Structure 1
Amino acid sequence: MCHAGPVTESGESSSHRSRQIRPGTVHGLDAHLIETPNARAAISVFGGQVLSFRPVGTGHDVVWVSPVLADLPTPIRGGIPVCWPYFAREGQTGDVPSHGYARTARWAITGSVVAETGEVEVSLAPEGLDHLGLRLSMTVRVGATLEQGIHTHNPGATTARLTEALHNYFRVSDVADVRVEGLAGLTYADKFDGGAIHPQHGEWTLPDSPARSDRLYPGAGGTYRIIDPGFDRVIEIQGRQARTAVVWNPGAEVAQGMADVGPHWREFVCVEIANAGPDVIQIDAGATHSMWQTISVAPVS
């Protein structure tokens, strides 16, 4: 296991590097570091996942990364993993990795733009996945908000089916003290209850007994707000072309069996945008599907 460490810079240079975009490390992982007047961010080379987003003036990072990470190529626990070209093992047969191949691929910057306002946009793509048929790329825009889109192109001659997610791990003061708005009145499939369907009564809060959550909300497709009084902040997630919401925290008992979570399960809640469960995406031959999210932070009013 490796322990998370500070952000450091390296001396690598390329055509896509600038004062605002540079190589370095975060949590001991090679990363693309991005700095703007309004925020700093980091995107891991391994997995292409956002490992840090810290708007200016905030006391805590918006995303959570495990302080005890497994050695690569074990997937990184935390940040914003890209689950693609399927969520969990939905629709798959045989021995395949959970949440697909993108989160263990190496990701390279393919383009970048620095706006006059200082906002930075980077385009990235995973390497070594051409055998999957579909083509994946990603856009990340860093400014006062974090905007992220994953784009799937179908170069084939027939329609392709896809499930996907941006598996957001959000840092919170204590998962037992936060609530998630935007899910009341929906129904969810409870993976801790064999996939049984239940109604969501009121806003999401961590259940009392057992204190854990693995809920998939089909047809949600909207805006979700994490209200965190302990950190005095509201994290808002706006999804676009994302029909599904997922809310996950393993709870104490399951976390005991997860070396990269363990006693740290209270420090995060996963509120994910996705197209999963019954919300399968079909991409026509020659077409491209994009799923976007915008993450913003504000004080509790």
Structure 2
Amino acid sequence: MHVAPATSSVETRFAVPRDFAAQVANAAQAGAVDADELSDFDVPGVRAGLFAGYPAVLIETPHAQAAIALHGGHLLSYVPSGQQDVLWMSPRQAQLPAAIRGGVPVIWPYFGRQGQAGDVPSHGFARTVQWRVTSVVRDEDGTVSLTLAPPQHADLGLALRMHVRIGPALEQTLETTNTGETAIAFTQALHSYFRVSDVAAVRVEGLDGLEFLDKNDDYARHTQTGDWVLDDARDPGRSDYIYAEAGGRYRLDDPGLGRRIELTTMGSRSVVVWNPGEAAAERSQDMDQGAWRGFLCIEAANAGPDVVRLAPGESHALTQRVRVLARDGGLAAR
């Protein structure tokens, strides 16, 4: 997984919260999702269960099904009615409290270790602790909206909430509030693993002409020519790019699955496109051989030069909206 450089002087340098180790230990011991806690909301189609072996909140609506693990506040699955899962999950998973591989990991309050000292965990403090559900609402059309939150660390200076809306589209928002007395600058991402038929046969529209930083080239700047494809002549077979000043609307065209995934982002000026390629994937402990071909990460992000600055009391929202389209541009058939 990509790790942005730690040499920037503009981000806040976060110390590991005093209670973080205890929260991670608690997450390792967490059992099933508390069905009584969910029943307090009394929302049809929302229940406790298991998904891919993880205790999860299971959501069923007329439009889609979804699963959210409370470990990491991790969206595991989003399946529009009559279609295949939009998200990819690795069949090989590390034992909790390790981060989950696949779905949509929450990267916060820094991307990789961007601007950080080397003693902090990669990608922040949210993805290896136990979250809780704070609200569940069902609209008249059956769409379900949930709000979840990780443990709040008093010495961090930031508070996080995540809003997830399960309907004809998937909407996911990270809402960050500066709870301290000084300004804070942070980075973040919704690290979506999109399921594909073969990553070597798909393309991403909406990036043509953008500058990007290439982690595999010591973060040198390059310019995208045409759509993104894995077998770029400059560096084929892998991708770890941070696109700056991006437009916020992208389409993942997948002929093998006969669909396009439309990703729209707000509160973000950057997007990350990542696939480790064969050599790096073989070194991973939580990917089966060849599993790297089944996904492409397109990440709604504030990363690289895109740093969020909040004064005390201010909030920021990073949102992604995901729809599945037919390759002719219409909504995918059910």
Query: TM-score by structure 1 length?
Result: 0.94
Identify the match of residue 226 of structure 1 among 226, 233, 252: 252
Structure-1 residue corresponding to 2:71: 46
Structure 2 CA distance for aligned equivalents of residues 154 and 141 of structure 1: 24
C-alpha distance in structure 1 between counterparts of 2:117 and 2:247, whole Å: 28
Native 8 Å contact 2:106 2:126 kept in 1? yes
Q: Percent identity?
A: 50
1:239, distance to aligned residue in structure 2 (A):
0.1
- Are 1:81 and 2:105 matched, yes or no? yes
Q: What is the DSSP-based 3-state SS (H/G/I as helix, E as strand, rest coil) of the residue aligned with 1:131?
A: coil
Secondary structure, aligned partner of 2:36: coil
RMSD: 1.4
Partner of 1:119: 143
The CA deviation at 1:197 is: 0.6
The counterpart of 1:21, out of the listed 46, 52, 58, is 46
Which AA in structure 2 matches 1:223? R
Is 1:159 aligned to 2:186, yes or no?
no
Opposite residue 144 of structure 1, the aligned amino acid is: P
* Deviation string, structure 1 residues 226-260 (Cα, Å, up to 9, x no partner): 00000000001100011111000000011110121
Correspondence for 2:23? none
CA contact (8 A) 1:65 1:77 kept: yes
1:105 to 108, 115, 129: 129
Could you say what secondary structure the match of 2:284 adopts?
Answer: coil
Is it true that 1:12 corresponds to 2:35 in the alignment? yes
User: Which stretch shows the higher mean deviation, 119-128 or 134-143?
Assistant: 119-128
Evaluate the alpha carbon distance shift between residue 11 and residue 199 of structure 1 in structure 2; reply closer, same or farther with a 3 A threshold.
closer
Residue-by-residue CA offset, 1:19-53 (whole Å, 9 max, x unaligned): 22111110100111111100000111101111000
Moved more, 240-249 or 129-138: 129-138
Q: Which residue of 2 aligns with 1:253?
A: 279
Please tell me the residue identity of whatever aligns with 1:247: V
SS at match of 1:88: coil
Per the alignment, residue 291 of structure 2 pairs with: 264
User: Any residues of structure 2 matched to 1:145-294 within 5 Å, and which?
Assistant: 145-207=169-231, 210-261=236-287, 262-294=289-321
**Aligned-residue offset at 1:184:** 0.4
Alignment match of 2:166 (pick from 142, 151, 169): 142
What SS class does the counterpart of residue 103 from structure 1 fall into?
A: coil
Task: Pick the aligned partner of 1:96 from 116, 120, 126.
Answer: 120
Counterpart-to-counterpart distance in 1, 2:62 and 2:293 = 31
- The amino acid of 2:325's aligned partner reads A
Task: Determine the structure 1 residue equivalent to 2:25.
Answer: none
Q: 1:95: how far off?
A: 1.0
Q: 2:81 aligns with which of 56, 67, 83?
A: 56
- CA–CA distance in 2 between the matches of 1:278 and 1:43? 31
* 1:290 partner SS: strand
**Superposition deviation, residue 210 in structure 1:** 3.7
Give the counterpart letter for 2:141 in structure 1.
T
Q: Distance in 2 between matches of 1:277 and 1:28?
A: 34
- CA distance in 1 between partners of 2:298 and 2:327 (Å): 18
Q: How many residues align?
A: 292
Instruction: Structure 1 unaligned segments of length 5 or more: list them.
Output: 1-8
Q: Does the alignment pair 1:295 with 2:319? A: no
Task: Note the C-alpha offset of 1:73.
Answer: 1.0
Residue identity in the other structure for 2:301: A
2:68 counterpart letter in structure 1: I
Q: Is the 8 A contact 2:189 2:300 kept in 1?
A: yes
CA deviation profile, 1:133-180 (whole Å, cap 9, x unmatched):
200001000000000000001121221111000001000000000000
